[in-house]
Structure 1
Amino acid sequence: MTKNKEKQSARMVFAANLRLARRLRDVSQEALALDAGLSRTYVSEVERGERNVSIDNMGLLADALQIPLKDLVDPERFKVLD
């Protein structure tokens, strides 16, 4: 059995889900960063998959968006149909 698509890293799944969840809630990176107690630059780097985000900061970001952390690490949660 072969897979049609390459498996995404957990960091990239989190990055994509964070960005989409933030946009769906119409929240700027700056507002999200402020609510989470993080810098806007940090949030931007996380969303681009450039930061290896800690579990503590993942929790802060999920709490700031008022969604369960498990939704941000689920590769199928915010998947857009191809």
Structure 2
Amino acid sequence: MLSYLELVELANGDIVLQRSEGDENPLVTIKFSKETREHIVGSVLDVARAMVQAGIEAAAMSAGDDGFVDEDDIDDEDDLQSDTKIVH
């Protein structure tokens, strides 16, 4: 079974990396301080995506893979709830 991961921005501002099947335990939680959010141009979700992508590439390289994650494979999508944003 193929499992997808998604980045979700929660209503409280935390960004979590979780399985798309809705597992209650996120794999990664990213919290930006208010000060940091004020200095980020654009979406904090874009910054979180870059952070996760860099982590995946670093882990893949240490495992002997080429570590490349194609940016076209990551889609932005709004969840049905207006307070939640998801990146696949």
Q: Do these two structures clear the TM 0.5 threshold for a shared fold by scoring above it?
A: no
| Higher Rg | 2
Q: Which has the higher strand share?
A: 2
What TM-score do you get using the length of structure 1 for normalisation? 0.30
Q: Which has the higher helix share?
A: 1
- Asked which structure has the greater RCO (Cα within 8 Å, sep 6+), the reply is 1
What TM-score do you get using the length of structure 2 for normalisation? 0.29
